[in-house]
Amino acid sequence: MMQESESTTKPVTCWRYALPSVQHQGWAVVHADSHGFFGVVSDFGNYAFNWTAFGDNFRRFLLEMEDDTDYLCSKLGSRTYFSRRETAQAFREHILDYRRNGYYDKDTAQDLWRTVNAFVADDREAEWLVDHTSGKLPDGWEMLRYDYDPRLRGFAQHIWPRSAPSWTRRRHPPNAPHGVPTTTHSARYGNYSPKGHRSCSSSIRR
């Protein structure tokens, strides 16, 4: 038989924020609760994460993340998206460094530079770049660069900063593009359901 711990009976406060599209930057609906859950449906994709160590105030914790988009992306995604721009930059920096230090002569450096330019201009795959620089670079595979999905980056850069005022208790200016409905629900997690969420008492936090 499943045993309930004291932590599962604590009341949970839920927040829902609707952020409309402003100047074509995209819309989002954000859900969070006082136990550390964060979920978003947006123009830039759908994401969710549950924090277990955030201190005693989850909204304050979210507010402190306003300028740390890399940390936010690390929780909502992973660096699996191949970045052609950053890879080309890494190869070019390597070529310039080796040319300055005399490891490459002029012809070798120019040949590698043209290869990188072709990689970018022709939208080549990573394997093509590594193959065409093999024998001239220490290890082309080590120079490939990966980043978070551009949609996740877009959410972190364009929508997430706009949500910051929602995590404070201060009054919003008139016509501000932030919805701040708050629902409170006291329940054991095992009984917490969308139906129960709709039956919560609602209020507007100012």
pLDDT digits (tens, 9 = 90+) for 84-141: 999 999 999 999 999 999 999 999 999 999 999 999 999 999 999 999 999 888 888 9
**Is 29:19 a contact under the CB 8 Å cutoff?**
yes
Distance CA(46)–CA(43), nearest Å, equals 8
Q: What would the two tokens of residue 127 be?
A: 């394997």
Q: pLDDT for 179-205, tens place per residue?
A: 444 444 433 333 333 333 333 333 323
User: To which H or E segment does residue 161 belong?
Assistant: helix 160-163
Alpha helices in 77-140 (DSSP H): 84-100, 106-121, 126-133
The three-point CA angle 6-12-52 to 5° equals: 70
pTM score of the predicted model: 0.68
